[in-house]
Amino acid sequence: MSKQDAYQQKLAAQLEEQKAELAKLKAQAKQHLAQGKIQAYEEIERLETHLEQLKSKLHDLKEAGEDRWEELKDGIEESWKTFTASIKKVFSKDA
């Protein structure tokens, strides 16, 4: 085997190593994307639950008498602030 042949074999082996490394990186990227999707769906479910709670509180407000509506209004406003902050947080993660 000539020196040139040995050098070509060395480069070919290095190429194979880099190809394997690239395949590993691709697999890791897919895993991270999948995990990100799972987290996004979990966050969406949490936000949907929160939204349903807000709907329920609005219904309670509609049914409340004059004596309770102010108390309920404050709770709804606080829940609304929390909900909108959560939405903003989710979108800021995507940026």
The 10s digit of each residue's pLDDT in 33-78 is 999 999 989 989 999 999 999 999 888 888 888 878 788 888 889 9
Residue 45 has a pLDDT of 94
Residue 93 has pLDDT above 80, yes or no: no
- Contact by Cβ (8 Å): 54, 87: no
Do the beta carbons of residue 70 and residue 60 sit within 8 Å? no
Higher pLDDT, 93 or 62: 62
Q: According to the model, what pLDDT value does residue 17 have?
A: 96
Instruction: Name the percent of the chain lying above pLDDT 70.
Output: 97
Give the CA angle between residues 69, 72, 78 to the nearest 5°. 140
Burial 5-38 (b: 16+ CB within 10 A, else e): eeeeeeeeeeeeeeeeeeeeeeeeeeeeeeeeee
57 in Cβ contact with 75 (< 8 Å) = yes
* Domain definitions of the chain by residue range: 3-94
